[in-house]
């Protein structure tokens, strides 16, 4: 069982078509093969493995417009980074969601307001 997280918090699964699943060690040179897929899940084998963020950003930069989901060991503290990298949502295990309740994810849901560049611009 998994939990889907979006800006509005924990939500029910609402996508039931085929997913393309990419491992975190997917060669970035091959991403153009997936640009026309309707939905892509990028695996995060560990919260310390940030390669998935790079893959998400590269997919969006290369024109991917479908649903992009980070799945696996993503923690609430990484939610804003996932969204800024181009992910629409995060999927975690029920166990992880119980250890990091919805309130922790919602605290990071205003991801546009708390990025480094925005804070720099406001300081000027």
What confidence tier does 74 reach under pLDDT thresholds 50, 70, 90?
A: very high
What does the alpha-carbon distance between residue 124 and residue 121 come to, in Å, rounded to a whole number? Answer: 6
Cα distances from 96 to residues 4, 73, 79, 88, 100, in angstroms, run 11, 8, 14, 19, 6
Query: What CATH number is attached to the domain comprising 80?
Result: 3.40.50
Q: Range of 15's domain?
A: 2-123
- CB atoms under 10 Å from CB of 48, counted, come to 8
pLDDT digits (tens, 9 = 90+) for 26-36: 999 999 999 99
pLDDT digits (tens, 9 = 90+) for 76-117: 999 999 999 999 999 999 999 999 999 999 988 876 665 666
Token pair for residue 3?
Answer: 């939990």
Q: Are 56 and 68 in contact (CB under 8 A)?
A: yes
- Indicate the helix (H) or strand (E) that contains 94: helix 94-99
How does the average pLDDT of the chain come out, rounded?
A: 92
- CB atoms under 10 Å from CB of 107, counted, come to 13
Q: Which of 60, 68, 76, 73 is nearest to 38 (CA)?
A: 68
What is the value of pTM for the model shown? 0.88
Domain count, the chain: 1
What confidence tier does 124 reach under pLDDT thresholds 50, 70, 90?
A: low
């Amino acid at each position: 069982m998994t939990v889907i997280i979006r800006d509005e918090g924990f939500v029910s699964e609402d996508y039931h078509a085929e997913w393309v699943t990419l491992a975190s060690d997917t060669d970035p040179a091959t991403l153009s093969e997936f640009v026309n897929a309707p939905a892509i899940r990028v695996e995060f084998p560990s919260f310390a493995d940030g390669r998935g963020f790079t893959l998400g950003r590269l997919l969006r930069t290369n024109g991917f417009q479908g649903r992009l989901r980070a799945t696996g060991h993503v923690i609430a503290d990484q939610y804003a980074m996932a969204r800024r990298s181009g992910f629409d949502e995060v999927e975690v295990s029920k166990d992880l969601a119980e250890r990091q309740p919805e309130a922790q994810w919602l605290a990071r849901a205003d991801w546009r307001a708390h990025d480094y560049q925005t804070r720099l611009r406001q300081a000027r």
